[in-house]
Amino acid sequence: MQTQSLVPQHFLNPSLVIEGEERGRRGNKIPVMFSHIWIQFDNEGDLQACIKTLRESDEHLKARPENMKMWDWQSTVRVGMTIEFGVAWYDRGFFHAKKDVYTDGMHLRQYMRFGKTPADLRVVHYKPGDKVPGKTIMS
């Protein structure tokens, strides 16, 4: 007799929420740095509000002219009640100028939509080829 799990699938396996630049939209750009972000949630409503905010940001970024894209989102993944996503940076100077932008006022207003502050984010910056502990890999 087969029984169905009472645990939602997203708690068992990582699930792709939003496709990112590493899935083909990068074109000929070569990332010089990456950032990886984890946000843990206590409730489904806030988690879904975060996904909605990331989708809106992704659509806004995709609408920019190519010559203005100094960075792009990597894929957004859900693992349980955690959202993981990344940023691919295409210009080293831009990366150094903007790597902490997640702490600015505009981002603070975005976080309020899902009950978070910059202190609630785990952010790791790394070079291409570096291993990032805890990063979920989507194929």
Confidence of residue 23 (pLDDT cuts 50, 70, 90): confident
Q: Tell me, what's the pLDDT at 19?
A: 87
Mode of pairing for the β-strands spanning 33-40 and 82-89:
antiparallel
Q: Taking 70 as the threshold, does the pLDDT of residue 5 lie above it?
A: no
Whether 74 and 28 have beta carbons less than 8 Å apart is answered as no
Confidence of residue 67 (pLDDT cuts 50, 70, 90): confident
Handedness of CA 89, 74, 114, 52 (dihedral sign): positive
Q: How far apart are CA 78 and CA 40, in angstroms?
A: 10
Q: How far apart are CA 68 and CA 27, in angstroms?
A: 14
Q: Which fold has domain 9-126?
A: Alpha-Beta Plaits (3.30.70)
Q: Tell me, what's the pLDDT at 97?
A: 97
The continuous run of DSSP H or E covering 126 comes out as strand 121-126
pLDDT digits (tens, 9 = 90+) for 79-138: 999 999 999 999 999 999 999 999 999 999 999 999 999 999 999 999 999 988 888 865
Average pLDDT of 68-74?
A: 90
Whether 62 and 103 have beta carbons less than 8 Å apart is answered as no
pLDDT digits (tens, 9 = 90+) for 27-54: 888 999 999 999 999 999 999 999 999 9
Confidence of residue 13 (pLDDT cuts 50, 70, 90): confident
Q: How far apart are CA 102 and CA 96, in angstroms?
A: 13
Whether 78 and 17 have beta carbons less than 8 Å apart is answered as yes
Q: Taking 50 as the threshold, does the pLDDT of residue 139 lie above it?
A: no
Neighbours of 86 (CB within 10 A): 22
Residues 6+ apart with CB under 8 A from 58: 18, 20, 73
Confidence of residue 66 (pLDDT cuts 50, 70, 90): confident
Handedness of CA 70, 60, 128, 30 (dihedral sign): negative
